Amino acid sequence: MISFPNAKINLGLHITSKRKDGYHEIETCMVPIPLYDALEMILDPKKMSWNSTGTPIPGEQKDNLILKAYQLIKKDFPDIPTLSIHLHKHIPMGAGLGGGSADGAFALKLMNSLFELHLDDFFLEEYAEQLGSDCPFFIENTPKIARGRGEVLEPIPIDLKGTWIVLINPGIHVGTKEAYADVTPGAPKVNLAEILQDRKRWKAELVNDFEPSIFKNHPEIAQIKGKMYEAGAFYSAMSGSGSSVFGLFDFQQTGLDFKSRYFRFESLL
């Protein structure tokens, strides 16, 4: 059985407070985009196996969200068989696009079907929350305002059908410590849900709180955003804590002097 975990972008991102447990409270709108990994799971009663192709995946297997997802399901359903799992990694990692979170969430959904567990989305989201803050979003995989650590989700109607997205990943690694270093948490100055309903307000008012400090440290990322607007984007921003930058266009844009990926919002929205 095979599925195709997709990436996401953030429309606005506010860091509202820092919690006692060290995590931050956020408010953002996450939107799925048509950029995919490929995840295959096959029943293999002999042994558990894992391999990947495409972009190399750093770190140890014990930290892999797909394998963690299997262990979560195995804990509550000990009779499930072992699997042969293959991931073809295409979504850039550490780029603010949620690729790893998507892989973990889609692994849960794939196992739900493969093992005929009949778990509804509520329970899958509970499992996903144990994998990571962004993971629950990918269960229903529709535009949502996310609050808390990112796991408190509220549906919001966002109509981007027919809009073109240009996505540029400059390959700059922005660590979590760096991303939060110069951010001062505070209540948003604007109502995110209200702004999202009026596209004319996005450029001036739909902000990502990570951008000022990250742009200061990496001016080349700010340059990419500027080029998006020069090319006619009606909105551009860094996604998540970066370093990927996206631009939204009403037309197909092919003139940017960057290595870009072009998509049209049709298949997911």
Just list the catalytic residues.
Answer: 8, 134
Handedness of CA 89, 94, 97, 102 (dihedral sign): positive
Residue partners of 40: CB distance under 8 A and separation at least 6: 1, 2, 85, 86, 87
Number of Cβ within 10 Å of residue 29's Cβ equals 22
- Residue holding tokens 């990570």? 210
Which of 133, 128, 138 is closest to 148 using CA atoms?
133
Structure tokens, 51: 């391999």
User: Which residue(s) pair with 6 in the sheet?
Assistant: 36
Q: How far apart are CA 105 and CA 268, in angstroms?
A: 16
